[in-house]
């Protein structure tokens, strides 16, 4: 049997090229247009990616690496060349930092930023003896496009509510193509779909005023919530332990879905398994610019 990727639905193996076409079709179904893994990735050298970490929990990396479709191994090994990523790279120490510096000098790469940048004092975050703020600015200067992934990198997120006064990439970097992919963490489909769109088209997808892809962040969570009928009937959950209130609207328990834009209620998480509201957790508003500080406390409205 030829070595290939397993189809988890039917249990048979398919070759790599068929697999890439299949995952591209899945991305297209999300609304970002015709997507395919770029042929140029094999023919003309793979696009370089620098992935920096700021103030964060690495949850967005974990989310991206946990995807099933597409398989992260195909993207990492076959589609792009990740030159620097503190979590997954084999190099460390001086060797890793030399790779970062060499790629910055080379230019024309995709810069992925995960985590916020401390604004109160640069000493809150040094990497390799250098303030993270300066590393970001150096890397941004020669980047072809910048992906700010997760709530922290996009708008400051949780760290914006701490003594570090964390900032998003757009608070520091101007004059560069920038896409925000907020979420705590972000969905893998948001990252892969946007990345593949960019690699195929050489430009970012249509963005909203907060620099989020409209196809992923165009509708309010509330509009497609599985509890919407109970909201309209004014059936609001007040007692988590009352089985008679199962499925009731979580508005009184702090749900921020009426002010939060994402496709969480339609495409669901974990390959279509669930969402926050469907699993009895009120929406925290993690895709919005005023998360976390503006939506705290999370369990009150």
The catalytic site residues sit at: 57, 60, 152, 184, 222, 225, 249, 255, 264, 276, 283, 286
Query: Which residue intervals of the chain bear CATH 4.10.480.10?
Result: 219-301
Superfamily, domain 5-215? NADH:ubiquinone oxidoreductase-like, 20kDa subunit (3.40.50.700)
Q: Are 132 and 172 in contact (CB under 8 A)?
A: no
Domain 219-301: which CATH number of 3.30.420.80, 1.25.40.10, 3.30.70.20, 4.10.480.10: 4.10.480.10
Q: Give which of 170, 102, 168 is closest to 139, Cα–Cα.
A: 102
Tokens standing for 124? 């809150």
Q: Give which of 37, 112, 26, 40 is closest to 75, Cα–Cα.
A: 37
Helix (H) or strand (E) holding 113: strand 109-114
| Cα–Cα distance, 150 to 96 (Å, whole number) | 24
Query: Which residue intervals of the chain bear CATH 3.40.50.700?
Result: 5-215
| Cα–Cα distance, 159 to 153 (Å, whole number) | 10
Rounded average pLDDT per 10-residue block, the chain, 301 residues = 39 45 48 44 72 96 92 92 95 94 97 98 95 97 98 96 96 97 96 95 96 96 94 95 94 95 90 86 95 87 75
| Cα–Cα distance, 294 to 299 (Å, whole number) | 13
Q: Are 92 and 188 in contact (CB under 8 A)?
A: no
Distance linking the first and last C-alpha atoms of the chain: 57
pLDDT at position 4, please?
A: 44
**Bond into 297 cis (ω within 30):** yes
Give 49's strand partners.
Answer: 82, 110
């Amino acid at each position: 049997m030829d070595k290939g990727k397993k189809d988890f639905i039917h249990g048979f193996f398919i070759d790599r090229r068929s697999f890439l076409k299949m995952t591209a079709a899945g991305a297209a179904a999300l609304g970002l247009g015709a997507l395919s893994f770029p042929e140029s990735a094999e023919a003309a050298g793979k696009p370089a990616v620098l992935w920096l970490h700021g103030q964060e929990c690495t949850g967005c990396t974990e989310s991206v690496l946990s995807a099933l479709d597409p398989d992260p191994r195909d993207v990492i090994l076959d589609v792009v060349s990740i030159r620097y990523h503190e979590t997954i790279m084999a190099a460390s120490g001086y060797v890793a930092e030399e790779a970062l510096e060499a790629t910055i000098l080379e230019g024309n790469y995709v810069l992925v930023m995960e985590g916020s940048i401390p604004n109160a004092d640069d000493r809150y975050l040094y990497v390799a003896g250098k303030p993270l703020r300066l590393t970001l600015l150096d890397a941004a200067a020669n980047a072809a496009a910048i992906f700010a992934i997760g709530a922290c990198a996009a708008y400051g997120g949780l760290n914006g509510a701490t003594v570090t006064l964390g900032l998003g990439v757009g608070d520091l970097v101007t004059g560069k193509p920038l896409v925000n992919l907020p979420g705590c963490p972000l969905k893998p489909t948001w990252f892969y779909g946007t990345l593949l769109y960019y690699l195929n088209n050489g430009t970012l997808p249509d963005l909203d005023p907060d620099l989020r892809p409209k196809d992923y962040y165009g509708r309010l969570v509330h509009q497609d919530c599985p509890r919407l009928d109970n909201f309209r009937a004014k059936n609001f959950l007040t007692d988590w332990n009352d089985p008679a209130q199962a499925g009731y609207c979580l508005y009184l328990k702090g749900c921020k879905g009426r002010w939060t834009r994402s496709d969480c209620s339609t495409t669901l998480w974990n390959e279509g398994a669930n969402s926050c509201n469907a699993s009895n957790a009120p929406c925290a508003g993690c895709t919005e610019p005023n998360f976390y500080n503006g939506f705290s406390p999370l369990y009150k409205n």
